[in-house]
Structure 1
Amino acid sequence: MTFSIVGRCAETGQLGIAISSSSIAVGARCPWLRPGVGAVATQNITLPALGPHVLDQMENGLSPAEALDKALTSNGYSQFRQLTAIDHQGQTAHFSGSETLGTHNALAGEQCVGAGNMLADRAVIDVLVRTFENSGGQLADRLIAAMQAAVAAGGEAGPVHSAALVVVGELTWPIVDLRVDWADHDPIGKLAQLWNDYRPQMQDYITRALDPTKAPSYGVPGDE
């Protein structure tokens, strides 16, 4: 039903998640990020509360592996959960319960960790992680490239309908937060196009937020 890549940029310290699913609005339930702390993807039979719980534990000083263990133990039904996590230093952890759906896999790489269930093949996650490791550009570029490579390698066993991309940096809010909540065809391709459209405007929106006196004009009524 879902595959995802959680990654960190070693140069900027940015943390990000790209994720897709056969279910609607995967971005509303599964990616959880906290600047300066870490990023968590919670999937399979999703309990959204696990994301903030794991982040709380990492913020309190636990490693990603310890944080996953504590959150899963506290909430129960761990056999149905699949989670990945990375902290602000690049340490990773992953967990796939015994009831994870279909063909599944999880793999940690350099500054990243990927996982999926209901996959066409376990090798999809290997491709996902290796592509992230070997891609260049901004963190969001690398996350999107990894997802597109995973699709080309077979992706999910069934059709994918939603996708999301979230990146956090030094600010308290996400600098990238893009979602395709439902598409009959190629939501990852549509997400990639959204990112291509947003990329040249991203810094402008940060500037507008931090110093309105330097806000660029977009030529719309009332925007001078």
Structure 2
Amino acid sequence: MDINCGNSSYEDNRTAEVKFRDASIVLTILLSGVGVWIIIYAFWEHLGRPVPVSYMVQAVDLLGVIMCATAWHFTSTFSIKELGLIPDNPKKTFLQTLIICGFSLVILAAIKIFGQLYDPSLFQTERGFFDIRRFNSYQVLYLITSFIQEFTARCIMQTGLKRVCAIKHKTIYAIIHASIIFAIFHIEYGFWFMIGAAVLGGILGIIYEKQKTIFGVWFIHWFLGVAAFLFGIINQ
């Protein structure tokens, strides 16, 4: 009997067992996280929204941290590179991110222009078309919020789903499902915001797969949120 063949078969079986175990854990964490958040949201609505939406954002960020920590503890260890914390080409990532942010700024400006052509009172700010005075400490703290959200959505959900999937188009599957879950975690903002979050999640998921690092999508997420607030497109 070929000993090497036997060892190879054992390793294959062991790898399959680990992947099945990780798949079960990741799916359990995602389903539990979504379920818990829907219950929290329903209770918040039942009480007549007793706390501001900003408190709910902090709550979902805390839930994201708990989900990340649970996945990290109970699944086989993800490498730092696999999590996208070490960029392959920092200069290329930086330039791509700046270009995407530039295009995003133009798109947001176009959305405001056409929106106000339809309804002049839409997307109003206190001062001007683009109100830089709206930038405050919350926008700085949003750097932390956007990192937590992207780490949860990309490094844990998307990478985790892709890692345990055994289907042909596992990357597309992972991006779609991570984007849907990402949208659910924005339920407190309403239906259209959820649709926008799902679309943004899909775009960021594609960028993450191209860049292989969280840093680009993290900055884009933060930049879009801040720019949309300064344009008055988002007012929360």
Larger fraction in helix: 2
- Note whether the superposition's TM-score is higher than 0.5: no
Relative contact order, higher structure (CA 8 A, sep 6+): 2
The structure with the larger Rg is 2
**What TM-score, normalized by structure 1, do the two folds share?**
0.30
